Amino acid sequence: MDLRPRTPMTNYGIEPNLLSSYSKFVSMNNQNLQESNGRYVNSRATDSRIITVSEEIDDEGASSIISQLLLMEAENPDEDVYLYINCMGGSMYGFMGIYDTMQEIKPDVVTLCYGSAFEMSAFLLSGGAKGKRLALPNSRIMLNQPETSFYGCITDLQLYNKELILMRKNICSLIAAHTGQRFEKVTADTNRDQFFSAAEAVEYGLIDRILYQPF
């Protein structure tokens, strides 16, 4: 895979490090395919300050990612952390925990979508450091309202429905802040699954730009 930029890249001055980091990530996945369980991140990626958000993130997976963010801050609070996202979604509360940790730690968190960022992982993608929210050119990004399956008595269902409404308002408010879109527009756009190409995600404000253009 040729990761050299096809067009000059000058904005923000982050491409050389990011391309090197992504190249290492691809190389490590090829070399350690049999060693890795393919779920979150291998040890060599951790050494390179790379955290992967992949498959469907449950609460255990979210806790693992949070621990890695805190560890990387402790190791070097002045060096960027790279959050590579190829994820279909997962635990709403787990993702909120990852998001809050990203905002609180000192290192900038570079978010990069390679493949897909659906549901709550799209929200996470938008929450990276300003100017460092990126996607590969053929990535797909999807926003929607929080979904869950809950069983219980009517009273519990009513309480949980109220909680979901509050969480949706909170998430839409945060997306609006990160994208520059109006809260009302984000709310309307997430009534149904809303898909974006990488270019459309730039226009919407979910990411800052595409890492490189293939042609």
* Residue 44, C-beta contacts closer than 8 angstroms, at least 6 positions apart: 28, 32
**C-alpha distance across the termini of the chain, in Å:** 14
Predicted local confidence at residue 55, as pLDDT: 82
Task: Determine the Cα–Cα distance for residues 27 and 4; give it in Å rounded to an integer.
Answer: 15
The three-class DSSP label of residue 18 is helix
Task: Determine the Cα–Cα distance for residues 41 and 76; give it in Å rounded to an integer.
Answer: 19
Burial class (CB in 10 A: 0-12, 13-18, 19+), 97: middle
Looking at the predicted structure, is the pLDDT value of residue 128 above 50?
yes
Per domain, the residue ranges of the chain are 11-146+193-210
Q: What is the mean pLDDT of the chain?
A: 84
**pLDDT greater at residue 37 or residue 125:** 125
At how many degrees (to 10) do helices 92-104 and 154-179 cross?
Answer: 40
Which of 66, 104, 111 shows the shortest CA–CA distance to 87? 111
Predicted local confidence at residue 5, as pLDDT: 39
Task: Determine the Cα–Cα distance for residues 70 and 37; give it in Å rounded to an integer.
Answer: 22
CATH architecture of residue range(s) 11-146+193-210: Alpha-Beta Complex (3.90)
**pLDDT greater at residue 154 or residue 47:** 154
Structure tokens at 113: 């979508």
pLDDT tens per residue, range 3-50: 333 444 444 445 556 655 655 555 555 444 444 455 444 566 666 899
Amino acid, res. 26: V
Handedness of CA 55, 144, 198, 10 (dihedral sign): negative
In 53-87, which positions are buried (b, 16+ CB within 10 angstroms) versus exposed (e)? bbeebeeebbebbbebbeebbeeeeeebbbbbbbb
Predicted local confidence at residue 171, as pLDDT: 96
